[in-house]
Amino acid sequence: MTDLRRLEELGLNSSAPPGQLLYDGWLLRLLPGKAKRARSVNAVYASTRPLDEKVAYCEQVYRARSLPPIFRITPFSEPPMLDAALEARGYARYDETSVEEAAIEAPSGLPSAQPVDLGAWVDAVAALRGSPLAHRESHLARLAASPLQLRPLALRDERGIAATGLTIVEGAHAGLFDIITRDDARGRGYARRLVASLLAAAHGLGARKSYLQVQLDNAVARRLYASFGFVQRYTYWYRGRPGEW
């Protein structure tokens, strides 16, 4: 199993946006779009400044960019009382997420999902999610700027792209992201085929461990991932003001 702090670093690296600030040990990510990991405060290192001052500064930075201040809370957040302090300031807890990990076995057959050009793949993800153009542009900007190896994949049916997925490889680790199935294509095994294809692609790029992030209450997805050997390593959640996230 991967050291938990290293697993957290891998997830942060895979979602790094083009623009971010480091403030007294906190990583402020400021990319508009759907991905909260790319537009939230990550309290990753020890702090020296007063907590109230730091939170107020983050609120100011996000408001100046027309973004709601959102804080991502992990077992490693510094200082440890940050979660309670945010709750006292009216920040509600939401979207608890499980970080899960599995070994990658050598693929036993040919993958069924096919590689897709990054721009076309981002368009397909946006269409499956019903995302606005601004979110599509932010998603593409973040991935296009990544220094890591990316493999965007898709499965097609008679109506076009039925499911998407992405693997991002850093050394021996591969993250799985954006596993989405078109609403009218659910129940046909596309998600299972896509995960198998992503793991096969990651193995071909030298990865031997994989990780993903899935909402804790998504029982269907978690059962699927468990069938591939994924187990929970830790959880995280967000804090934001009600109505703003």
The tokens 């046909």 sit on which residue?
188
Helix axes 118-129, 133-144, angle to 10 degrees: 140
Read off the pLDDT band of 47 (50, 70, 90). confident
Same domain, 79 and 129: no
CATH number of the structural domain spanning residue 128 = 3.40.630.30
Residue 68: CB atoms within 10 A of its CB come to 15
Residues 60 and 128 in one domain: no
Residue 195 lies in a domain: yes
The per-residue pLDDT for 235 is 98
Boundary residue ending a domain (97, 123, 143): 97
Q: Which tens digits make up the pLDDT trace of 92-139?
A: 999 999 999 999 999 887 778 999 999 999 999 999 999 999 899 999
Beta carbons of 82 and 51 less than 8 angstroms apart: yes
Q: If you count them, how many residues does the chain have? A: 245
**Does 46 fall in a domain?**
yes
Angstrom distances, CA of residue 1 to CA of 102, 162, 178, 211, 230: 8, 33, 23, 11, 11
- Count CA atoms closer than 13 A to 11's CA, side-chain side: 27
* The predicted structure's pLDDT at residue 220: 96
Who contacts 184 (Cβ-Cβ below 8 Å, separation ≥6)? 159
Residue 18 has pLDDT above 90, yes or no: no
pLDDT at 108: 81
- The pair phi, psi for residue 221, each rounded to 5°, is -65, -40
Determine, yes or no, domain membership for 234: no
Fill in the amino acid letter for 157: D
Domain of residue 165 covers 105-207
pTM as predicted: 0.93
* Average pLDDT taken over every residue of the chain: 95
The pLDDT of residue 243 is: 87
Strands 41-43 and 70-73: parallel
> Coil, strand, or helix at residue 47?
coil
Return the SS3 of 120.
helix
Residues 181-233 pLDDT 10s:
999 999 999 999 999 999 999 999 999 999 999 999 999 999 999 999 999 99
| In a shared domain, residues 72 and 110 | no
Query: According to the model, what pLDDT value does residue 166 have?
Result: 98
Q: Do 131 and 66 fall within a single domain? A: no
Give the count of domains, the chain. 2
Task: Give one DSSP letter per residue of 72-97, joined into a string.
Answer: EE-TT-SSTTHHHHHHHTTPEEEEEE
Using CA atoms, how far residue 137 sits from 87, 125, 131, in Å, is: 33, 12, 10
Q: What is the pLDDT of residue 117?
A: 97
